[in-house]
Amino acid sequence: MREFLQRTLIGVVVVGFFALLVWGALGAVEALWLALTVVVLWLSFHLYHIALLLRWLKHPGSERVPDGFGSWHMVFMTLYRQTRAQTQNKKKLTNVLERFISAGEAMPDGVVVLDEHDRIEWLNPSAVEHLGLNRKEDVGNQILNLIRQPNFHSYMGGDSFSQPLILRFVQPTERVLAIQLVPFDSTRKLLLSRDITQIERVQTVHRDFVANVSHELRTPLTVIGGFLETFADMDEPDVGMLKQFMPMMLDQTRRMQSLVEDLLTLSRLENSPKAVPNEKVNMDELLATLRVEAEGLSRGRHKVVFDHSSSRWLWGSAQELHSAFGNLVSNAIRYTPEGGTVTLAWRDCGEKGEKAVFSVSDTGIGIPREHIPRLTERFYRVDRGRSRGSGGTGLGLAIVKHVLARHHAKLEIASEADKGSTFSVVFGAERLAEAE
């Protein structure tokens, strides 16, 4: 700008100097006309470049900056450099904004940007999924009109946002969210949402597990403790009472021992590597062992039928498969009344015999249909009183589920109340081995 004014001042001085020369040589009138003509040409020159500048200002851009002459060339070159620098800065800011938006779009947590009146300015797909919002229709609307839970309104109207708010939704799906409001400038706020449904379920399972274990252990400990207190209050032990109470104490001790062993087995299965030992399991020996165990548990009270029509062996862990199959056999014996039939079968299945199935069928009390999906849950019992009376720990089918998952096998349950049940374990071709 200073250089432009200097050049303009020099031009005025030069015009004045020539006018004085003409005045001295030709007279005052000729000098005046010369000065006037130069001034008009000079003004026309500037007006032309001013018109170029005004036209460029309507549609500015570095590629449209006009070429000027003289001092105006310097002005237009300055405009070109500034416009180009602004364009480059704008591209950088645009790239930064796009990266920020892309990061927000990819976040697993929901993000909602709110203005000073709690109106939605922007939200990411996770927020749409968590809060049931619409990216096209809900932008510009107040968040309080879209989420109508009273505790959320109280949270938004409070002064402290250091702790998240837990929101529970039932529709369209059951979901638990942790909501937290984070002010990030004088007017705007971020509303963050995190899906903690699975965490809540795990915590619920953990609480139920601890409660169930405590409950299962409390009864035998109470029984044993009561007997021991009775004996401690006696001056001299009563032999008849000892003979009466000792078998009960022994039975409760064995019950606790079975529960602890099943808990340890379940813990070992859950903490073991996903890959099972790749050993060949001799099904002939395993089935013979299961038959002996079934007859031992039955003690002649049931008819035990054995159907061994497949010659296939299995790849996997003999110890784990024995544990799973043994739980199915013991359940069948336990829940079948005296005189009933328990059938153990190992046979080929599938259209071309590409699969094999181990099944345990009984003519016992059966299972109502609504209970079948939950049978493999820890400590889940259809009839708690009958289960405890039969000596079950409530962990057998949970162990079966983990063993079969490790062997990529499938458990199928068919049952009808008061008629009996069939538990079938189906193994795919990748688990079958030829007998040696």
State yes or no: pLDDT of 5 exceeds 70.
Answer: no
Q: Do 111 and 104 form a contact (C-beta atoms < 8 A)?
A: yes
pLDDT digits (tens, 9 = 90+) for 13-55: 666 665 566 555 655 666 676 667 777 777 787 788 888 888 8
391: pLDDT strictly greater than 60: no
Give residue 93's pLDDT.
Answer: 86
Q: What is the pTM assigned to this prediction?
A: 0.55
282 — pLDDT class (breaks 50, 70, 90):
very high
Query: 344 with 307: CB under 8 angstroms?
Result: yes
Task: Give, in degrees to the nearest 5, the angle at Cα 283 between 282 and 284.
Answer: 90
Cβ contacts of residue 10 below 8 Å, gap of 6+? none
Looking at residue 349, the DSSP 8-state letter turns out to be: E
Please name the helix (run of DSSP H) or strand (run of DSSP E) that holds residue 198, with its range, or none: helix 197-233
pLDDT band at 359 (very low <50, low <70, confident <90, very high): very high
The answer to whether 265 and 399 have CB atoms below 8 angstroms apart is yes
Fold of the 201-271 domain: Helix Hairpins (1.10.287)
Between the two ends of the chain, the Cα-to-Cα distance in Å is 100
Residue 335 has pLDDT above 70, yes or no: yes
The average pLDDT across 73-81 equals 80
Burial class (CB in 10 A: 0-12, 13-18, 19+), 110: buried
The identity of residue 164, as a single letter, is: P
Token output for 113: 């940007």
Provide the residue ranges of all domains of the chain, joining segments of one domain with +.
Answer: 2-101, 107-195, 201-271, 279-433
Q: d(Cα 346, Cα 312) in Å, to the nearest integer?
A: 9
- pLDDT tens digits, 266-277: 777 777 766 677
Residues 6+ apart with CB under 8 A from 352: none
Q: What is the pLDDT of residues 106-165, one digit of tens each?
A: 888 999 999 988 899 989 998 888 888 888 888 899 998 888 888 888 888 887 888 888
Do 279-433 and 107-195 have the same topology in CATH?
no
Say how many CA atoms lie within 13 Å of 341 toward its Cβ: 9
Query: Which of 412, 375, 415, 413 shows the shortest CA–CA distance to 395?
Result: 375
CATH 1.10.1740.10 fits 279-433, yes or no: no
What pLDDT score does 325 carry? 92
pLDDT recorded at residue 148 = 84
pLDDT score at 48: 82
| CA–CA gap between residue 282 and residue 245 (Å, rounded) | 43
- CA 16/CA 22 separation, integer angstroms: 10
Whether the predicted pLDDT of 65 surpasses 70: yes
Q: Please state, rounded to an integer, the average pLDDT across all residues of the chain.
A: 82
Please give the CATH architecture assigned to the domain spanning 107-195: 2-Layer Sandwich (3.30)
Decide: 179 and 164 in contact? Cβ < 8 Å. Answer: yes
Q: Please spell the DSSP secondary structure of 421-436, one letter per residue.
A: EEEEEEE-GGGEE---
Sequence letter at residue 86: Q
Q: State the CB neighbour count (10 A cutoff) for residue 344.
A: 21
pLDDT value of position 34 = 65
Record the tokens describing residue 194, joined without a space. 């995190």
pLDDT for 265 = 77
DSSP 8-state class, residue 309? -
Are the C-beta atoms of residues 301 and 402 closer than 8 Å to each other? no
* Residue closest to 420 by CA, chosen among 365, 341, 382: 365
CB < 8 Å & 24+ apart, contacts of 150-155: 152/179, 155/179, 155/181
193 versus 210: the higher-pLDDT residue is 193
In the block, which residue shows the tokens 């002996």? 292
Tokens linked to 183: 């002010």
